[in-house]
Amino acid sequence: MARHFPISRRRLLQTAALGFGGLALADIVHAATSPQAARSPGMVPKAKQVIFLFMAGGPSQHDLFEEKSFIANRHGQKIDSPLRKEVIQVGTEQYLALAEAVPVKPRGESGMMISDLMPHLASVADDLCLLRGFAPIEKHGREHQPESFCAWMAGCSVKGGFTWGETDHMGYNVIDGKVHIHDLHATMLHLLGIDHTKLTWNQVGRDFRLTDVHGSLVKEILA
């Protein structure tokens, strides 16, 4: 018999799509009482709307945006796992290097690395701001690689043809330009003219905000 676990609409919005639904909910609730409360003097909105897509699944980051010569040169060979010893590892007795199935090439005048799997995206590389050190989730003791993801932005005063962030030789740990999900949310809110530290809502006597007690503006990607 199928078991159903009830979940409130508020909780669904807070957890789905990396919590971005919670942003909309918080904004609507707060605007009902104080529309300008989260806007700081002098902050001019550079964007009116945000389209946020969290594309779960698909090829890995180094298959699409960040070719790794260390992996490519050892294709099919056994290599050491980059995981910490305390992390539960399932089915990794034969930890083999797997090179990209199709080439990842420099695109446009910027030279942004994009796979042949995405020809249309490659054609607009100079309009994209690529984040290769995106860290959206916390560690949960499994080998699902929470350390590094890839994301890209376009429009609304972010740098076009710009790549920010870098992972190690295996594409696992971020070694430069790490952007947490709270940092990304703080930056998007900034582009909407909203100070993320002031966008709060009260629940059971405590003030909550989308970026929790974290989140820093990623100034490096702003045009």
Q: What is the DSSP string of 41-69?
A: TT---S-S--------SSS-HHHHT---H
3-class SS of residue 45: coil
CA distance 167 to 174: 4
CA distance 108 to 127: 9
In this prediction the pTM is 0.78
Helices and strands (DSSP H and E) totals, the chain:
6, 10
Share of the chain above pLDDT 90, in %: 37
pLDDT (tens digit per residue) in 76-108: 998 888 877 777 777 666 788 889 989 999 999
CA distance 117 to 115: 5
Helix residue ranges, H only, 16-162: 20-31, 61-64, 69-72, 119-123
Identify the residue with better confidence: 62 or 91: 62
Say if residue 217's pLDDT is above 60.
yes
Say if residue 112's pLDDT is above 80.
yes
Closest CA to 221 of 128, 125, 124, 112: 128
Identify the residue with better confidence: 162 or 82: 162
pLDDT at 85: 75
pLDDT (tens digit per residue) in 120-158: 999 999 999 999 988 866 555 555 567 788 899 998 789
If you ran DSSP here, which 8-state letter would residue 22 be given? Answer: H
pLDDT at 88: 72
pLDDT (tens digit per residue) in 184-216: 999 999 998 888 888 877 778 887 887 888 889
Separation of first and last alpha carbons in the chain: 54
pLDDT at 177: 95
- Say if CB 174 and CB 133 are below 8 A apart: yes
Say if residue 48's pLDDT is above 60.
yes
Give the model's confidence band at 35: pLDDT under 50 very low, under 70 low, under 90 confident, else very high. very low
- Say if CB 199 and CB 189 are below 8 A apart: yes
Average pLDDT on 45-52 reads 88
